[in-house]
Amino acid sequence: MGRLLFIKTIEGRILAGITMFVGMMILVGWVAINEEARMQSFVRQHTGRSIERGAELYALNCSECHGEEGLGAGDRAPGLNNPHFFGYDPVGLHTAAIINANRALVRLNKDIENLLTELTDADNPPAAERQDEIITKVAELEAQIEEQQLAIEAAVADRIAVLESLDTAVENGLFPLWDTVVDIETTSQNELEVFFYNNGTRLAQVGWGGDLRGYIITTLIHGRPGSGNVWPNSEGMAAWSQTAGGRFRQDQIEDLAAYILNYDKGENWTTEDFLAVAQYGKPLADGSLPTEPPPPPAGDDVAGILARWADEEIVGSPVSGEMLYDAEFGCTDCHRNGASAPDTVGTFARISSERLTLPQFAGYSVEQYLVESITRPGDYVVDGYSSGLMPANFGVRMIDQQLADIVSYLMTQ
């Protein structure tokens, strides 16, 4: 029986080898032909599972502000199931037609101006034949100008009709700052086109130069600082990524982005979709943001700083001071264990029992000593440590409240 497994003749072996080789080539070819389709199917399955996981994350974490169906909530958060968000500009074609026609008018008027300059050149008057050519050409250009003006009028009328059909969407914030350009006699046509061009899509409004997926992921990771001032009924868009102190892993950020992107209808968005959105996005730089200038730096006038604290009743917070000391200004890096600078632990006791006994600090309080040490570190260097290691610009970098917080924290050490 075992002999049947072997082919005795050389011809039979060659034939068997050829048959096996051809079979292998057919198999490899079949796999290669179907590989793209197989990969596309795999990508669809992977994307589908990602969208499902994103839907769960959205329902648990996002729906309260952005709505269960992603349509937003008034003065809480914008809709994400939103044609404007996905780059569908309801009046984009009309605005583009108006802009192009205006550009054509500028070119045509310039051409006429050049021809008339040539025609009326007293120093070098054109020949009679050339004059006839110029007059004919000017007439043609004037006819083209009339065509462009009619095109602008038609596009403006069509755009007005579209805007009237989107009245509810406009009221819900489709075009932020709409009141600044509508029904104002001083608003020029060019200003209107700039307004529509800059507000036609959400990405245009925020000045985002990348794609929508990048905008979504970046917003999920970092949040939107200042958005709490824009949305009075919410705390603003938080940073959701673990890298920014949130709760989501990067794969969860990707899943949530996939779910949001799945709202896109491409070219199938309708007027009803615009009207269904309960709240459109707002620019952060609008009137709801604080407009007061930032407070001035504390400076390095120790007596002046202490006088302001007394006059303005500025009281430091040890809790805030600890966070500023450890994180924002990085003081702990040098003042840990006394390696590069005096140890943070025992600060109050050392100042009271050692520093204030020195002649140059006669009459100083612990608070005064700390303020001077932070804002004017070069005035006195503790024995055993090098001069110039501590930055001398904290008086410029800190405002009074921050300085008071850090001093308050150090007085607890």
Q: Decide: helix, strand or coil at residue 215.
A: helix
Is the distance from CB of 195 to CB of 181 less than 8 angstroms?
yes
pLDDT band at 21 (very low <50, low <70, confident <90, very high): confident
Say which residues have a Cβ less than 8 Å from residue 341's Cβ, sequence separation at least 6.
Answer: 334, 335, 385, 389, 390
Is the distance from CB of 297 to CB of 352 less than 8 angstroms?
no
What are the φ/ψ torsions at residue 170 (nearest 5 degrees)? -65, -40
- DSSP state string for 247-270: SB-HHHHHHHHHHHHTT--GGG--
Say yes or no to pLDDT of 1 above 50: no
Tens-digit pLDDT profile for residues 27-55: 888 877 877 877 787 778 888 899 999 99
Bridge partner residues of 255 (DSSP): none
Say yes or no to pLDDT of 269 above 60: yes
Residue whose pair of structure tokens reads 């959400």 in the numeric block = 202
Question: Whole-number mean pLDDT of the chain?
Answer: 85
Say which residues have a Cβ less than 8 Å from residue 206's Cβ, sequence separation at least 6.
Answer: 215, 281, 283
Q: Is the dihedral of CA 187, 189, 192, 194 positive or negative?
A: negative
CA atoms within 13 A on the CB side of 230: 18
What's the CA gap between 209 and 214, in Å, rounded?
10
The predicted model scores a pTM of 0.56
- Tell me the one-letter amino acid at 119: L
Q: Which two tokens stand for residue 88?
A: 């569908």
pLDDT band at 188 (very low <50, low <70, confident <90, very high): low
The fraction of the chain above a pLDDT of 90, given in percent, is 39
CA atoms within 13 A on the CB side of 331: 22
Report pLDDT for 385: 87
Tens-digit pLDDT profile for residues 303-338: 999 999 999 999 999 988 888 888 778 888 789 888
CA atoms within 13 A on the CB side of 214: 5
pLDDT band at 229 (very low <50, low <70, confident <90, very high): confident
What's the CA gap between 353 and 349, in Å, rounded?
6
Report pLDDT for 320: 86
CA atoms within 13 A on the CB side of 257: 20
Max avg pLDDT among 42-46, 205-209, 407-411:
407-411
Range 204-216 average pLDDT? 87
Residue among 245, 198, 220, 209 nearest 95 (CA): 198
Q: What domains appear along the chain, each with residue ranges and CATH number?
A: 302-410 (1.10.760.10)
pLDDT band at 289 (very low <50, low <70, confident <90, very high): very low
Is the distance from CB of 334 to CB of 343 less than 8 angstroms?
no
pLDDT band at 286 (very low <50, low <70, confident <90, very high): very low
Report pLDDT for 7: 60
Report pLDDT for 184: 45
- DSSP state string for 178-193: GGGTTT-TT--HHHHH
Residue among 222, 216, 188, 184 nearest 202 (CA): 216
Report pLDDT for 2: 47
Tens-digit pLDDT profile for residues 71-119: 988 778 899 999 999 988 888 888 888 888 888 998 999 999 999 999 9
- Tell me the one-letter amino acid at 44: R
Q: Decide: helix, strand or coil at residue 399.
A: strand
